[in-house]
């Protein structure tokens, strides 16, 4: 495993970080708790020391499962990353979308990052995770109803109290990052990034590189699409949100698989799976600090961790990028 310092902090994270969205089951068609606990522990056994979760993932379930999984691991050997600012239990803030919980009950998700809400969320996360502090505390999405100053001052208070080591943002644009830095040191920005989604290369990556900010790439496997294991007519479980995205149309799955077939020889040269090749490509991209990768079982967790053992040459990355330039997806 490779370990990387996050931005201008002294926080070190594993280059492959366990992404625990699917662990909560929400929007992934459910979860199996024992499998998830075993997956997290297997990842740690293979060098993955960092785990990223959020309260909204399963409405607290993901954090509880992470808390159970890490209960037998010395806390100082782990870096726990969680979030705040997406509430499903209040109508305050900005309405983001309607959904259902794991039991099929309707919920409305709101972006809300007012001071009292952040303090409350932090206490709840600490309790669910069964820990005294959070290594990286990230606002999940921008809240247009709360001044950034108020949000960041609340996180500053939590840092002063020792409940949070470092502050970060997710899904922020450059202007929002600049403003946040006026009130607290922002360690990183967690944003979607994959072979199929590279828009952050235009502005966020250059800004973060210039200003010493880390980038946490989420969905590097495009929620499974870049594993090569999906087929046209894919059968998704009830409650899985992927069919609602154009990335998972039958035609886009076919086009993506054709691209993957073209780069498969590179994976085979490294005795790696396509997923491992994709993960390693991600963490070798300029400005990318770590890749957040989910796993539903021990086998997936072990394979994901193994991606860090690959080292792609410049020629191989160029060859992959050349194939990417030919790939056209219909995202309309």
Domain ranges of the chain: 3-222+274-312
* CATH class in words for 3-222+274-312: alpha beta
Q: Is residue 195 within 8 Å of residue 281, measured between CB atoms?
A: yes
pLDDT attached to residue 128: 98
The pLDDT score that the predictor gives to residue 33 is 80
> 82: pLDDT confidence band, cut at 50, 70 and 90?
very high
By three-state DSSP, how is residue 278 classified? helix
CB atoms within 10 A of CB 10: 8
Q: How confident is the model at residue 55 (pLDDT cuts 50, 70, 90)?
A: very high
Active site residue 193: no
Give, for 80, the enclosing helix (H) or strand (E). strand 79-84
Q: What is the pLDDT averaged over residues 66-84?
A: 97
Q: Is the pLDDT of residue 28 over 80?
A: no
Asked if pLDDT for residue 105 goes beyond 80, the answer is yes
Confidence of residue 254 (pLDDT cuts 50, 70, 90): very high
Lowest-pLDDT range, 27-36, 206-215, 298-307? 27-36
- The pLDDT score that the predictor gives to residue 147 is 98
What average pLDDT does the chain have?
Answer: 96
Which two structure tokens, joined as six digits, stand for 300?
Answer: 């997936």
What percent of the chain shows pLDDT beyond 70? 100
- In the numeric block, the tokens 């492959």 are attached to 16
Q: DSSP letters of 94-149? A: EEEEEEE-TTS-EEEEEE---HHHHHHHHHHHHHHHT-S-EEEEEESS--TTS-HH
Q: Are 78 and 51 in contact (CB under 8 A)?
A: yes
pLDDT in the model for residue 272:
97
Mean pLDDT, range 154-181, rounded to an integer = 98
Q: Which of 57, 112, 137, 207 is catalytic?
A: 57
């Amino acid at each position: 495993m490779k370990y990387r310092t996050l931005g201008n902090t002294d926080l070190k994270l594993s280059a492959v970080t366990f992404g625990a969205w699917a662990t909560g089951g929400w929007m992934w068609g459910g979860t199996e708790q024992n499998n998830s606990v075993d997956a997290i522990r297997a990842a740690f056994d293979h060098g993955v020391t960092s785990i990223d979760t959020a309260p909204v993932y399963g409405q607290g379930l993901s954090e509880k499962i992470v808390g159970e999984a890490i209960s037998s691991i010395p806390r100082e050997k782990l870096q726990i990353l969680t979030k705040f600012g997406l509430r499903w239990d209040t109508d305050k803030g900005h309405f983001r979308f309607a959904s259902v919980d794991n039991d099929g009950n309707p919920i409305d998700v709101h972006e809300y990052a007012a001071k009292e809400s952040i303090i409350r969320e932090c206490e709840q996360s600490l309790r669910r995770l069964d820990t005294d502090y959070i290594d990286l505390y990230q606002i999940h999405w921008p809240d247009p109803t709360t001044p950034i100053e108020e949000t960041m001052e609340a996180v500053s208070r939590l840092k002063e109290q020792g409940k949070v080591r470092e502050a970060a943002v997710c899904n922020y644009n450059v202007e929002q990052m600049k403003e946040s830095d006026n009130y607290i040191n922002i360690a990183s920005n967690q944003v979607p990034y994959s072979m199929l989604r590279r828009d952050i290369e235009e502005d966020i990556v250059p800004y973060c590189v210039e200003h010493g900010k880390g980038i946490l790439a989420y969905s590097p496997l495009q929620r499974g699409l870049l594993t090569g294991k999906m087929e046209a007519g894919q059968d998704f479980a009830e409650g899985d949100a992927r069919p609602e995205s154009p990335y998972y149309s039958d035609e886009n799955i076919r086009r993506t698989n054709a691209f993957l077939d073209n780069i498969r020889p590179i994976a085979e040269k490294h005795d790696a799976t396509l997923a491992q090749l994709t993960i390693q490509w991600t963490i070798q991209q300029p400005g990318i600090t770590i890749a957040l990768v989910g796993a539903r079982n021990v086998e997936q967790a072990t394979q994901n961790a193994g991606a860090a053992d690959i080292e792609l040459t410049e020629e191989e990355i160029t060859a992959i990028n050349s194939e990417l330039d030919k790939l056209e997806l219909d995202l309309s």
